[in-house]
Amino acid sequence: GSGMNLLQIQDKVWSQVCLRACAPHLEEKLGSPVPSCSVLGAISSYFVQRYGFPAGCKVVAFTGDNPASLAGMKLEEGDIAVSLGTSDTLFLWLQEPMPALEGHIFCNPVDAQHYMALLCFKNGSLMREKIRDESASCSWSDFSEALRSTEMGNSGNLGFYFDVMEITPEITGRHRFSAENRQVSAFPGAVEIRALIEGQFMAKRIHAEGLGYRVMPKTKILATGGGGASHNRDILQVLADVFGAPVYVTDTANSACVGSAYRAFHGLAAGTDVSFSEVVKLAPNPRLAATPTPGASQVYEDLLPQYAKLEQRILSQTPGPP
What do you get for the CA distance between the two ends of the chain, in Å? 31
Euclidean distance between CA atoms 273 and 267, whole angstroms: 10
Q: 164-202: per-residue pLDDT in tens? A: 999 999 999 999 999 999 999 999 999 999 999 999 999
| Mean pLDDT, range 276-295, rounded to an integer | 94
Gap between the Cα atoms of 240 and 246, Å rounded: 5
Q: According to the per-residue pLDDT averaged within each range, which of 142-146, 253-257, 272-276 is highest?
A: 142-146
CATH number assigned to the domain covering 64-255+284-321: 3.30.420.40
- Please report which confidence band the pLDDT of residue 270 belongs to, taking 50, 70 and 90 as the band edges: confident
Comparing C-alpha atoms, which of 58, 57, 117 is closest to residue 90? 117
Q: Taking the domains of the chain in order of start, what are their residue ranges?
A: 64-255+284-321
Residue 322: its pLDDT value, please?
A: 52
Using an 8 Å Cβ cutoff, are 69 and 256 in contact? Answer: yes
Q: Is 296 helix (H, G, I), strand (E, B) or coil?
A: helix
The structure's pTM equals: 0.90
- pLDDT (tens digit per residue) in 78-121: 999 999 989 999 999 998 899 888 899 999 999 989 999 999 99
Query: What is the rounded average pLDDT of the residues 36-41?
Result: 92
Contact 156, 304 (CB under 8 A): no
The per-residue pLDDT for 273 is: 82
Q: Over 80: is that where the pLDDT of 159 sits? A: yes
User: Does residue 109 contact residue 94 with C-beta atoms inside 8 Å?
Assistant: no
pLDDT above 70 for 155: yes
Cα–Cα distance for residue pair 124/46, rounded to 1 Å: 45
How far apart CA 76 and CA 266 sit, in angstroms, is 15
* Most confidently predicted of 6-15, 272-281, 310-319: 6-15
Per DSSP, the three-state class of 175 is strand
Burial environment of residue 121 by CB neighbours within 10 A (0 to 12, 13 to 18, 19 or more): buried
169 prior amide bond cis, ω within 30: yes
